[in-house]
Structure 1
Amino acid sequence: MSQQHPEPQPVPPGLPAVQQGVRVVLKLGVRATSLNPTSRSKERSRVISLSSRTRPELTHPRLSCPTGLQQEQGEQFLGAEFASLAAMRLQERSWGRGRNSTLPPPAVPVPTSSFAAAPAKLFVTDEHPTGESKSDLYTALQRHTRKDIPTLGARFRSDQKGRIMKKKALAVVTVVLGVSGTWTAFAQGSNTIKIGVLMPASGVYAQLGEEGYKGFTLYLDSIGNQVAGKKLQLIREDEEADPAVALRKANKLISSDKVDILAGVVLTPSAYALTDVVEEAKVPLIVFNAAGNALTRERKNPYVFRVSGNAWQYNNPFGKYVATKVSKNTFLVAADYAFGKESLADFKQSYTKAGGKIAGEVYTPLGSTDFSPYLARIAAARPQAVYAVLSGSDAVLFMKQFAQFGLQKSVKLAVFGDMTDEKFIDAVGDSAVGAISALPWAQDLPNAQNQAFTTAYKNKYKGDLPGVFAQRGWDTARVIVEALKKTKGNVSNTEELLAAMRSVTFPSPRGVFRFDPSTQNVINPMYVREVVKTPQGLINRFVTNLGTFKDPGK
């Protein structure tokens, strides 16, 4: 039967508070660490090893670490936001629980699914001038060591009145700590900030991931791969096109690699799978592509930010434009997954409101190689235009086969902007010329940041033109850097880091970049673009600015 944990109560009068001398220090990954290097054997004799049956829980609020304490060599103090991990409480066979303890119950239980086999040490030291403490914490700890695991010989000396004798270290407890605590302990003292990058390197979205990573690293190269005097270390994992893989790789980056920040994610289902993970681990996730509406609506949480935009922003403003400027009779095609369905729904909302009629609607499986059945239906419907929402190799194959069917001669191609990315349309060829789309970025936008971005890309990649995925990668990296500037490179204070990210604003290749603080989704300009042929190849040329849009969803 699961235990019910009542709301935390104020500290009862008379109970000791941290200002009276309790100092709590968290140590990670060291089996036997001595506060006094000359007495390792004595320190080791006080180690208590708790079995896997035990379960750490968030603890009494009075045990937060006070500010102003002097740090001793090798110690890392917990900030106030990690007070919940300061004095680990253990269910049942534990100190202060099931042993007549007067300590209040923990405020919030830690889900057992978050646990990783990461050894940690909790040091409780006594700063009282007398060297004595009547704290229920110490009493409960003494009771625990004597009664629960006596076979380890881990006992504390006490006087005849049961008081713990004066010792430098009153307790050294080895526990299994969940991922929610492991990543932060050394963050503030480290000269390296670890960023986990989760982007596809294989599968249907491999090219999207490669371009995103190029843009991401291109911006970091431009600032010397450091910020606020700290080195930025990237650890990349392949998202593939599988939410289960993305979840496994994200857990590895958080629990094994101990990254401070996560970035990337192409596929919307992958992003949905990660929301609970990053919130539980307290690791910010900066999404560079996945555009499903729910990510910053009903699934939103304070640890998820999105740089790309969402389905509504990409499709709803463009729907009205297509109805008024392009076609009153349009056939709809999208990939058969959440983002594809959301995109067509958002497009139809404004398109039909502006007088447009739907000639037909189909959804294609991800990774399709033969679009002929769908193209036959389009030909039979005889629409004025097709509006398609596909990505990666699906987009290339659809546009190639669209031309092979001869449909481009009579049907206008209006598409989701990712489909005509500069990295794809060369593979389609001249049949892509004339296709229109809408996105927050165009190759020829006349602003200084866009010129700097496109020039840097062409210089590094031997004249190749960048596409929108590289541009999103560039902005994703800059969001992280601008936030770290605000925190002076400190990633240990999670609330401060999240607040810094929410307030980030800077001149971007797309225009002014800023988040909507209520959703943490980017506020996007939307530009209509048209594919044209230039001496440098096929590009998306700016046509008109539809305005600036934030997601109106809740």
Structure 2
Amino acid sequence: MKSVFTLVGALAFGLGVTGAAQAQDPVKIALIHGMSGSALEAFSKQSQTGFELGIEYATGGTNEINGHPVEIIHKDTQFKPDMARAALEEAYGDDEVLLAVGATSSGVTLSMLPIAEEYEKILIVEPAVADGLTGEDSNRYVFKTSRNSSMDMQAQALALAPDENLYVATLAEDYAFGRDGITAFKSALDGTGATVVTEEYIPQGTTDFTASAERMFNALKDHEGRKVIMIYVAGGGDPMGKIQAMQPERYGIEISTGGHILPVLPTYKRVPGMEGAIYYYYEAPQNEVNDWLVDTHMERFETPPDFFTAGGMSAALAVVKALETAEEWDTETLIETMEGMSWETPKGTMTFRPEDHQALQSMYHFKIRVDEDVDWAIPELVREIKPEEMEIPIGREN
């Protein structure tokens, strides 16, 4: 399916034409993602595909909301903060979109938050993850459908079953995603008795992990108890495979990491039996929305939906639910409608927490299973981790 979607004109709203606008007027939505310049392009493409599928599903194939055709405007941040700010300004101003969705990199997305506040228009964050996106630097116009670092790390900690016999070294990229993630991981371990013995931070794009691995081995090897290297890296470079190739087991050290997109999961075949937590794997959720997504994606693309396909769909479903529910489409009414709003997604029910607009959602504890007939390692479901099991810190009070 080809979609051409856009967001609603600020001029029309300034004249008092809101939800009662003429039926032929489009509702314009901007999708602002990095489509060039980074290995994270795959995340953006999945998110945009998922968003379009979500609009289709939520509107019963009409691609109309309350009689208004949905028009999507695509903009490329090139993974540069200045480009992202300019793209969002153009979307809100020249393109007169009603709201925007993006972006992919947490650091880039952080730079966009003040623009939403300046234009007093909604920005739905998807798929960027960092806690700070709903934290002190955020504002009341920002809603976040993607999970956050605390969810990743609360779930990861639960999957590790931490106690006083657990010693952990962490490896993360040195930017908002990685720093926030490790902060959240340490917070999740508070009170369990587990110890983080060292933290390693690497530049984005790192491909040689030898020095970091040796430092982590040395920090862990003399401890009595369970010793784990926890990897929290969003990009490529295959840190898990390369560190595993250095034989951490000779020191009694195991590796743990969260789940990843399907193109990365073949590398997990090196660690059968590894346990961790994942945001989404197409076989984990059992609900009608996910059934439709899996069947439709297989039919059209001959592959299962991935991490960020589900995320993009969740964002689209939130948009449609809000616009169908709100009495008017001005920003203030939409904010009032979305605060505390629950809606169904491929992951089940999500709810925008009123305090900071973070979408609370389930995560999935997995154990890696290797099947020679499947190209990737299978993050087989151990159990669903419900939102109420995770103590997700509240970010900015709106």
Instruction: Give me the TM-score of the superposition, normalised by structure 1.
Output: 0.62
Residue 516 of structure 1 and its aligned partner are, at CA, apart by 0.7
Distance 2:280 2:268 in 1: 21
Alignment of 1:192 with 2:26, yes or no, is yes
Match of 1:449 in 2: 289
Distance 2:21 2:342 in 1: 24
Distance 1:218 1:328 in 2: 43
Unaligned regions of 5+ residues in structure 2, if any?
1-8, 222-226
Contact 1:192/1:233, CA 8 A, preserved across alignment = yes
Match of 1:480 in 2: 319
Contact 2:46/2:309, CA 8 A, preserved across alignment = yes
Distance 2:351 2:392 in 1: 13
Match of 1:302 in 2: 140
Match of 2:257 in 1: 415
Moved more, 539-548 or 314-323: 314-323
Alignment of 1:209 with 2:44, yes or no, is yes
Residues 1:263 and 1:473: Cα distance change in structure 2 (over 3 Å): same
Counterpart secondary structure, 1:379: helix
Residue 204 of structure 1 and its aligned partner are, at CA, apart by 2.6
Residue 403 of structure 1 and its aligned partner are, at CA, apart by 3.3
Distance 2:153 2:15 in 1: 46
Alignment of 1:388 with 2:231, yes or no, is yes
Match of 2:344 in 1: 507
Distance 1:346 1:285 in 2: 24
Match of 1:467 in 2: 306
Contact 2:362/2:386, CA 8 A, preserved across alignment = yes
Residue 78 of structure 1 and its aligned partner are, at CA, apart by 2.9
Map 1:243-258 onto structure 2 (within 5 A). Answer: 243-258=81-96
Distance 1:536 1:470 in 2: 20
Match of 1:399 in 2: 240
Query: Which residue identity lines up with residue 256 of structure 2 in the other structure?
Result: A
Match of 2:224 in 1: none
Contact 1:331/1:361, CA 8 A, preserved across alignment = yes
Counterpart secondary structure, 2:243: helix
Distance 1:504 1:209 in 2: 25
Counterpart secondary structure, 1:299: coil
Contact 1:414/1:436, CA 8 A, preserved across alignment = yes
Distance 1:318 1:325 in 2: 14
Distance 1:509 1:188 in 2: 31
Match of 1:271 in 2: 109
Select which of 65, 70, 78 maps to 2:15. Answer: 78
Contact 1:323/1:355, CA 8 A, preserved across alignment = no
1:253-276 CA distances to partner (integer Å, 9 max, x unpaired)?
A: 222222211002122222221122
Residues 1:186 and 1:226: Cα distance change in structure 2 (over 3 Å): closer
Counterpart secondary structure, 1:319: helix
Distance 1:528 1:413 in 2: 15
Map 1:32-181 onto structure 2 (within 5 A). Answer: 78-79=15-16
Match of 2:265 in 1: 425
Contact 2:163/2:193, CA 8 A, preserved across alignment = no
Distance 2:164 2:297 in 1: 33
Distance 2:247 2:103 in 1: 36
Residue 332 of structure 1 and its aligned partner are, at CA, apart by 0.6
Residue 307 of structure 1 and its aligned partner are, at CA, apart by 0.5
Map 1:209-358 onto structure 2 (within 5 A). Answer: 209-222=44-57, 223=59, 224=61, 225-324=63-162, 328-358=166-196
Q: CA RMSD in A?
A: 2.8
Alignment of 1:532 with 2:381, yes or no, is no
1:124-156 CA distances to partner (integer Å, 9 max, x unpaired)?
A: xxxxxxxxxxxxxxxxxxxxxxxxxxxxxxxxx
Q: Which has the higher contact order (CA 8 A, sep 6+)?
A: 2
Query: Which residue identity lines up with residue 15 of structure 2 in the other structure?
Result: L
Distance 1:339 1:539 in 2: 25
Unaligned regions of 5+ residues in structure 1, if any?
1-25, 29-74, 80-183
1:3-56 CA distances to partner (integer Å, 9 max, x unpaired)?
A: xxxxxxxxxxxxxxxxxxxxxxx996xxxxxxxxxxxxxxxxxxxxxxxxxxxx
Contact 1:316/1:348, CA 8 A, preserved across alignment = no
Residues 1:269 and 1:188: Cα distance change in structure 2 (over 3 Å): farther
Counterpart secondary structure, 1:456: helix
Distance 2:229 2:13 in 1: 60
Residues 1:326 and 1:508: Cα distance change in structure 2 (over 3 Å): farther
Residues 1:346 and 1:76: Cα distance change in structure 2 (over 3 Å): closer
Counterpart secondary structure, 1:208: helix
Contact 1:443/1:542, CA 8 A, preserved across alignment = no
Residues 1:531 and 1:240: Cα distance change in structure 2 (over 3 Å): farther
Contact 1:335/1:341, CA 8 A, preserved across alignment = yes
Alignment of 1:547 with 2:381, yes or no, is no
1:162-212 CA distances to partner (integer Å, 9 max, x unpaired)?
A: xxxxxxxxxxxxxxxxxxxxxx89994462111110112121311111111
Contact 1:527/1:544, CA 8 A, preserved across alignment = yes
Counterpart secondary structure, 2:180: helix
Residues 1:323 and 1:507: Cα distance change in structure 2 (over 3 Å): same
Match of 1:64 in 2: none
Match of 2:5 in 1: none
